Chains A and B, each alone.
Chain A
Amino acid sequence: MMFILEKIGAIVLKALETWGGFVILFLQTLRQCKRAPRFSHVLEQMAHLGVDTLPIVALTLLFTGMVLTLQTVAEFLKFGAQSTVGGVVTIAVGRELGPVLVGVVAAGRVGAAITAELSTMKVTEQIDALKVMAVNPVGYLVVPRLIACMLMLPLLVVFGDIIGSFGGWIVANYYGISSFMYMQSINTFVIIHDFTGGLIKAVVFGAIIATIGCYYGMNAANGAEGVGKATTKSVVDAIIAIFFFNCFLSMLLYR
């Protein structure tokens, strides 16, 4: 019995230590934001982390919009509710599916890339070299990535929302719902808050992905194995955090 309790205690302590580490790094990053980061660094990260993620986001949201419509349209037609399909699909994509799926895709692609890059720098002593040259690693490495992620995630979500809705339109058309009816449905049911709420979520998810990615990168153990483990942990923890904060933010924004 004691053994089980000790195990549980150790797991809880480890989780608190890790999540506390995320919070401390986030606060340190905010403090380093006082010194304006180089615009070129932020732009470089925006291109690397944001623009390069666009194709995978487009594919994910296109097929999600299509499948969502496929699953709903047959039922809606039974009740003669075809005039609501466009609105339902767009609200679902704008409020939940867009930000969450973009967040998950970005955690897998962007978060993993951040962790792999920073952990390689850590194990090859490049982060120590920054410190030795009196350059704060948090200011130099984390700040541009945090800003880039917080700016690019909402842009990816805007793009994803449009593509998701477009995917829905393709399937709706296939089931005989006209383009006019689909658009009319969106005009009738969707309000701007359905999108702005999703964008607020995206900003938070961007901060989560950058913070967790950088934390694991900067605390990786030595060797190739350490880089691999850090990258896996970074993706898993970022996805868990995104689901947790999505639930919390949905309650806050759409109650």
Chain B
Amino acid sequence: MIINLVDVNKSFKKHKVLEHINLSVEKGETMAIIGASGSGKSTLLKLMIGLEYPTSGQIWIKNKDITTLKEDELDKVRLSMGMVFQYSALFDSMTVADNVAFGLREHSNLSENEIQRVVEEKLDTVGLKGFGKYLPNELSGGMKKRVSLARVIAFEPEIILYDEPTSGLDPIMAGKIDKLIKYTQEMMKVTSVVVTHDINSAYYMADRIAMVYEGQIIAVDNPDNIKNSTDERVREFIHGGKS
């Protein structure tokens, strides 16, 4: 397995956000993490990439417990990972092309010409060819998400984490983003962890779905079994309280 969380607990001051989390993700797998707002999904994602540290427990990424690593060592692990943020987190002082080129300029020895070639290729992949000179504030929400994905795949990571990739988008754009994520997954053979509260997105793209409920993982299974789950809490989430 490429990601393995062992008995992870996380508290903010006295408030327990995650309790006894055990979760593993296989190489090449797409795992969707679903749950209501405030259930701890995004915190779980941030723990996986070292943006938050657990109160206790171990987080193994590519056979390294990142909770014990120093910042420099953690950065080496992060080079094989990428994250698409909920609000895109594009650098607003840079153009779209500079955003996509950022990681390559910081960490690769590619020439500027090669970087420009990669940028154009990745923007083309996400359907934004010709938008390189735009600034992030000139783009719509869906376009920003796509630029964010282009910025991640420019560095060809082994693991991509998505934090609510379709939140705030209209259903058509959300569908396009879902397809893009699935296409990226199939094309690059990456391991993906997608945090979402959109159950249809999860069914569409995930190999397995984990449900977080009040800080605990209450179900991990394939989409069909989750769909037919008899657990009241899972059914309530899937059917929006109408079951």
Q: Which residues of A contact B (CB under 8 A)?
A: 121, 124-126, 128-129, 131-136
Q: Is the CB of A131 within 8 A of B51?
A: yes
Q: Is the CB of A136 within 8 A of B71?
A: yes
> A128-B89, A131-B78 are known contacts; what are 5 more A-B pairs with Cβ within 8 Å?
A125-B89, A126-B89, A128-B51, A132-B51, A132-B82
Task: Identify which of residues 76-129 in chain B touch chain A, using a CB-to-CB cut-off of 8 Å.
Answer: 76, 78-79, 81-83, 85-87, 89-92, 102-103, 106-107
Q: Is the CB of A125 within 8 A of B85?
A: yes
Q: Which residues of B contact A (CB under 8 A)?
A: 46, 49-51, 71, 75-76, 78-79, 81-83, 85-87, 89-92, 102-103, 106-107, 155
Residues of chain A within 8 A (CB-CB) of B90 are: 126, 129
Interchain CB contact (< 8 A) of B76 among A129, A134, A135: A134
Residues of chain B within 8 A (CB-CB) of A131 are: 50-51, 78
Shortest CB-to-CB span from B210 to chain A, Å, is 21
Report which residue of A124, A126, A134 has the largest number of chain B beta carbons within 10 angstroms of its beta carbon: A134
Residues of chain A within 8 A (CB-CB) of B50 are: 131
Interchain CB contact (< 8 A) of A136 among B49, B75, B81, B91: B75
Q: How far is the CA of A131 from the CA of B79 in the complex (A)?
A: 10
Q: Is the CB of A124 within 8 A of B87?
A: yes
Q: How far is the CA of A132 from the CA of B91 in the complex (A)?
A: 13
Q: Is the CB of B89 within 8 A of A134?
A: no
Whether A126 contacts B91 in the complex (CB less than 8 A), given A132-B78, A133-B102, A134-B75, comes out as: yes
In the complex, the number of residue pairs spanning A and B with C-beta atoms less than 8 Å apart equals: 46
Q: How far is the CA of A132 from the CA of B89 in the complex (A)?
A: 11
Q: How far is the CA of A128 from the CA of B81 in the complex (A)?
A: 13
Interchain CB contact (< 8 A) of B79 among A125, A128, A134: A134
Residues of chain A within 8 A (CB-CB) of B75 are: 134, 136
Whether A125 contacts B107 in the complex (CB less than 8 A), given A131-B51, A133-B78, A133-B102, comes out as: no
Residues of chain B within 8 A (CB-CB) of A132 are: 49, 51, 78, 81-83
Q: Is the CB of A134 within 8 A of B85?
A: no
Shortest CB-to-CB span from B194 to chain A, Å, is 16
Q: Closest 7 interchain pairs by CB? A: A134-B75, A125-B89, A129-B89, A134-B78, A132-B83, A133-B103, A125-B85
Q: How far is the CA of A107 from the CA of B15 in the complex (A)?
A: 37
Q: How far is the CA of A131 from the CA of B86 in the complex (A)?
A: 16
Whether A124 contacts B79 in the complex (CB less than 8 A), given A133-B103, A133-B106, A134-B107, comes out as: no
Q: How far is the CA of A121 from the CA of B85 in the complex (A)?
A: 13
Q: How far is the CA of A133 from the CA of B153 in the complex (A)?
A: 12
Residues of chain A within 8 A (CB-CB) of B92 are: 124, 126
Residues of chain A within 8 A (CB-CB) of B49 are: 132
Residues of chain B within 8 A (CB-CB) of A135 are: 106
Q: How far is the CA of A61 from the CA of B46 in the complex (A)?
A: 49
Q: How far is the CA of A134 from the CA of B107 in the complex (A)?
A: 9
Residues of chain B within 8 A (CB-CB) of A121 are: 91
Show 22 residue pairs from A and B whose CB-CB distance is below 8 angstroms, ordered by the A residue. A124-B87, A124-B89, A125-B85, A125-B87, A126-B90, A128-B46, A128-B85, A129-B83, A129-B85, A129-B89, A131-B51, A131-B78, A132-B51, A132-B81, A132-B82, A133-B102, A133-B107, A134-B75, A134-B76, A134-B106, A135-B106, A136-B75
Residues of chain B within 8 A (CB-CB) of A126 are: 89-92
Report which residue of B46, B75, B79 has the largest number of chain A beta carbons within 10 angstroms of its beta carbon: B75
Residues of chain A within 8 A (CB-CB) of B103 are: 133
Residues of chain A within 8 A (CB-CB) of B82 are: 132-133
Q: Which residue of B lies closest to A131 (CB)?
A: B51
Shortest CB-to-CB span from A38 to chain B, Å, is 10
